[in-house]
Amino acid sequence: MKKPNLFYAQSGGVTAVINASACGVIETARAHKDKIGKVYAGLNGIVGALNEELIDTSKESASTIAALRSTPAGAFGSCRYKLKSYAENQREYERLMDVFQAHNIRYFLYNGGGDSQDTANKISQISLDKGFPITCIGVPKTVDNDLPITDNCPGFGSVAKYVAVSIREAGLDVASMCDSSTKVFVMEVMGRHAGWIAGAAGLASEEEGDAPHIILFPEIAFNKEKFLRKVKSSVKKYGYCAIVVSEGAQNPDGSFLADAGGADAFGHVQLGGVAPFVANMIKAELGYKYHWAVADYLQRSARHIASATDVEQAYAVGQAAVEFALKGKNAVMPIIIRGKGKKYSWRIGEAKLSAVANVEKMMPRHYISKDGFHITDEARAYFTPLIQGEDYPPYRNGIPQYARLKRQLETKKLKAWKAS
């Protein structure tokens, strides 16, 4: 019997370290050539499996694969594509089985968030029913840090480091100028449902008066009066006010803050995000000169300032996923377990995909200060280890040199797929 092949796919929004997980998967599979044939990567994630567009990673040199460890974003392409339920779209699952069978794929490693783990779990079940059992292992990934069970998600530590570093630096800038110029600075960060990223920015404030002075979380309903009072008191006390706002910051009625200014009575579209909205509100109510920034993709692709801890963990979950598969585990995902000691330590554990799928972990209330505008010491203790260490990529000509893959596709064996 020919050695079974492995299929790896990246899913959903990418991160600074998802390729480090890919590196862990491929290097570990290569170290077990006796048991695993080829590692195929889906071109643009699971869509690549449907289209039978399988990148043959054996065509990539060892040094290229090693370089994935320090390359941000999804080197094989990712996608926003959620498989429907089997009942709703049986055809898609049949197609996946056909492709896997045609290419002797017996291992499916899915690198994504909660949705993706749900898909991996379904495929595992269906493959059993079909009599072509596929070992399905999840590989956790999300900047949002909202997966349950695992202590944290690979991808989060690096975006956390980026936002903490950025608000520290921009805060110093505003502090320099506030006597005669800008008094308020608003930085918008990602996290539409959970405030983990916004919270991590709070690490920048280590001493009284340090930026950020205010954090707006999705978990805390926005109170305009209280907020403006806090802005005013910060400007009085420190000369300026640095604010971090989560893109998911919400009004008491649950609508997004930015949507309030989303369209005026005449239906004109609001072009800005929540940062310009908040900045403008302050200008209108308190008159302070402001600046604002929206980091957007810059934050989740910022491999140049990645957390070394995050990179290690991202690699480790990729490695563990292959090891799990070889040990005969199925429908599980490697997770990060935090050691109990005072000094931070972590090890790899496992969680059932069924327990991970479609569950969102929010910031606990006790991680947020009483007034709702900052993080607590408990939150600091949680966040701090995750941004430890710098893992700088190699540079050439002054800019990071990231892996450039051949992405050579395996010859197709099936008829073309048409999405219904």
Q: Are 41 and 51 in contact (CB under 8 A)?
A: no
Q: Give the number of residues in contact with a second copy, rule: CB under 8 A.
A: 82
Examine residue 179 and tell whether it contacts a second copy (CB under 8 A).
Answer: yes
* Cβ distance to a second copy smaller for residue 269 or 416: 269
Using rule CB under 8 A, residue 89 touches a second copy: no
Candidates 7, 107, 108, 185; binder of a second copy (CB under 8 A) is: 185
CA 88 to chain centre: 28
Site for a second copy in 139-178 (CB under 8 A): 161, 164-166, 168-170, 172-177
| Closer residue to a second copy (CB): 34 or 208 | 208
Stretch 292-351 residues interacting with a second copy (CB under 8 A): 292-298, 300-305, 307
Distance between CA atoms of residues 407 and 342, nearest Å? 44
Choose one: 222-230, 313-321, 357-365, 398-406; the region binding a second copy (CB under 8 A).
398-406
Give 302's contacts (C-beta < 8 A, 6+ positions apart). Answer: 16, 72, 158, 159, 162
In the complex, the smallest distance separating the C-beta of residue 1 from a second copy, rounded to whole angstroms, is 34
Please name the residue that has the structure tokens 């900045």: 279
Stretch of 86-94, 128-136, 264-272, 371-379 lying at the interface with a second copy (CB under 8 A): 264-272
Output 372 or 385, the one with its CB closest to a second copy.
Answer: 385
Q: Give the nearest distance from C-beta 251 to a second copy in angstroms.
A: 17
Closest CB 326 distance from a second copy, rounded Å: 28
- Classified as helix, coil or strand, 54 is strand
**Which whole-number Å values give the CA distances from 303 to 159, 187, 237, 279, in the listed order?**
9, 20, 36, 29
* Beta carbons within 8 Å of 212's beta carbon, 6+ residues apart: 167, 171, 187, 201, 202, 204, 205, 242, 243, 244, 374
Between 65 and 170, name the residue whose CB sits nearer to a second copy.
170
Per this entry, what is the length of the chain? Answer: 420
404 in helix, strand or coil?
coil
- For the residues of 222-279, what is the DSSP string, one character each? --HHHHHHHHHHHHHHHS-EEEEEETT-B-TTS-BHHHHTTB-TT-PBP-S-HHHHHH
Please report how close the Cβ of residue 268 comes to a second copy at its closest, in angstroms.
6
Binding mask 93-132 for a second copy (x = CB under 8 A): ----------------------------------------
* 8 A C-beta contact, residue 293 and residue 245: no
Identify which range of 103-111, 148-156, 221-229, 269-277 contacts a second copy by CB under 8 A. 269-277
Is 407 a residue that touches a second copy (CB under 8 A)?
no
Nearer to a second copy, 250 or 309 (CB): 309
Q: Is 300 left (phi over 0), alpha (psi -120 to 50) or beta?
A: alpha
Residue 219 or 310 with smaller CB distance to a second copy = 310
Rounded Cα–Cα distance for residues 344 and 214 (Å) = 28
132-140, 215-223, 287-295, 355-363 -> range binding a second copy (CB under 8 A): 287-295
**Which one-letter DSSP state was computed for residue 338?**
E
- State the nearest-atom distance from the C-beta of 203 to a second copy, in Å: 6
User: Does the protein bind a second copy through residue 260 (CB under 8 A)?
Assistant: no
Which residues in 18-47 contact a second copy (CB under 8 A)?
44-45, 47
Q: Is 10 in the site for a second copy (CB under 8 A)?
A: yes
419-to-47, 171, 305 alpha-carbon distances in Å = 10, 49, 39
- Starting at the earlier edge strand, list the strands of the sheet with 332-338: 54-56, 39-42, 5-10, 105-112, 135-140, 332-338, 346-352
Q: Which range, of 85-93, 330-338, 365-373, 392-400, touches a second copy by CB under 8 A?
A: 392-400
Q: For a second copy, which is the closer residue by CB, 118 or 391?
A: 391
Q: Which of 4, 77, 138, 195 binds a second copy (CB under 8 A)?
A: 77
Residue type, position 403, single letter: A
Least Cβ distance, residue 316 to a second copy (angstroms) = 19
Interatomic CA distance for residues 249 and 122, integer angstroms: 33
What is the smallest separation between the CB atom of 45 and a second copy, expressed in angstroms?
8
In this structure, the strands spanning 135-140 and 105-112 are: parallel
Interface region with a second copy, contact rule CB under 8 A, candidates 32-40, 98-106, 132-140, 201-209: 201-209
Burial of 87 (0-12, 13-18, 19+ CB in 10 A): exposed
| Helix and strand totals (H; E) in the chain | 14, 13
Q: How far is the CB of 106 from a second copy (least distance, A)?
A: 26
Nearer to a second copy, 63 or 180 (CB): 180
Residues annotated as catalytic (active site), given as ranges: 144
